[in-house]
Amino acid sequence: MRAVQFLGDRQAIVREKPDPSPGPGEVVLAMRASAICGSDLHRYRPPRGDRPISDLVPGHEPCGVVVAVGAGVDNPKVGDRVLVYHRVGCGNCVQCRTGNSNICQHGQRSYGGYFDGADAEQMLVLAHRCNRLPDDLSWDDAVVISCQAGTAYAPLRRLGASGRDQIVVTGLGPVGLCVLLMGKAMGARIIGIDPMPERRALALSLGADAAFDSADPNLGQAVADLTGGGADALVETSGSRAAHARIVDLLHVNGQAAIVGLGSLEPSINPIAFFGKQLTLFASNLYPEWQLPEIFEFVRRKQVPLAKIITHRASLEDAPSMFKLADSAKAGKIIFRFD
């Protein structure tokens, strides 16, 4: 089979790799859709020589059809259309046993980071990580849900987003764009912030009520003027220290902020700054697997146009140029299609 490999120093290739064979409790998928996530770029960017070249296949947004099952697997069945939940926890802790393996604290692993991932023609996965897709859910919608849309839905649900709210989203990459689409479907007013004009334009075309340049020195005042004193809530998807530092300026008194994006581990927020406005801050790590049926139903019932964030559909052979494009931060969602 053909599969992507990172060589370091922002280089990706497509190479031949043996087809997988399922063992007990495993299934093999013929991929139908996978995608590039911003977190994939953490393994794509490091200079060559900083670490040994790995033959691990990247990609943690797997959607495909089951083509082979191992011993003891009754579900899923050959022919089933599935989305793979890409986090694998220890299986024994309270978090794992309650469907919250996304925050397992004991040996958490992931497809594309520990196991071979989705950027290949076939993929070996644990059967119990397969979630059967509704027949009327497209591959495009499914691949967006598998990481970005689920990651957007979870903090919005926790915020209780509704038509009462004005919500700022900092970072208009694929996760931020999904916050926009999901938040609008929940009835909220959404204000996007991003340094890239291409992404601000895309957000406005998808229904953002406003979109501001994060480099604007008067950003806080602009948001305050638009919202009547500041947003009710903020979802931070960029991972930028500068974005973290602006949270207090963008929120109304008693506002809430969700930290979603991964970035620098250096301190960027002084919690004392939250005191005057009595703000609430929480982190949202991916989404719990138990939410997937709820997300499927929400997207279908509200007809959330998730596929509109996809700006590029490519074949696996185009992976070298697609990772380069993703690294430029000028595109929306980039997916690989296998049909």
Pick the CATH number of 149-283 from 3.30.70.270, 1.10.730.10, 3.50.7.10, 3.40.50.720: 3.40.50.720
The pLDDT value given to residue 48: 85
Residue entry with tokens 């991929």: 31
With a cut of 70, which residues of the chain have pLDDT below it? none
The pLDDT value given to residue 107: 83
What residues does CATH 3.40.50.720 cover in the chain? 149-283
What residues does CATH 3.90.180.10 cover in the chain? 2-133+305-337
- The structure's pTM equals 0.94
Pick the CATH number of 2-133+305-337 from 3.90.180.10, 3.30.9.30, 3.30.540.10, 3.90.1170.50: 3.90.180.10
Q: What pLDDT, in 10s, does the model give residues 11-49?
A: 999 999 999 999 999 999 999 999 999 889 989 999 987
Q: What pLDDT, in 10s, does the model give residues 91-140?
A: 999 999 999 999 999 988 999 999 999 999 999 999 999 999 999 999 99
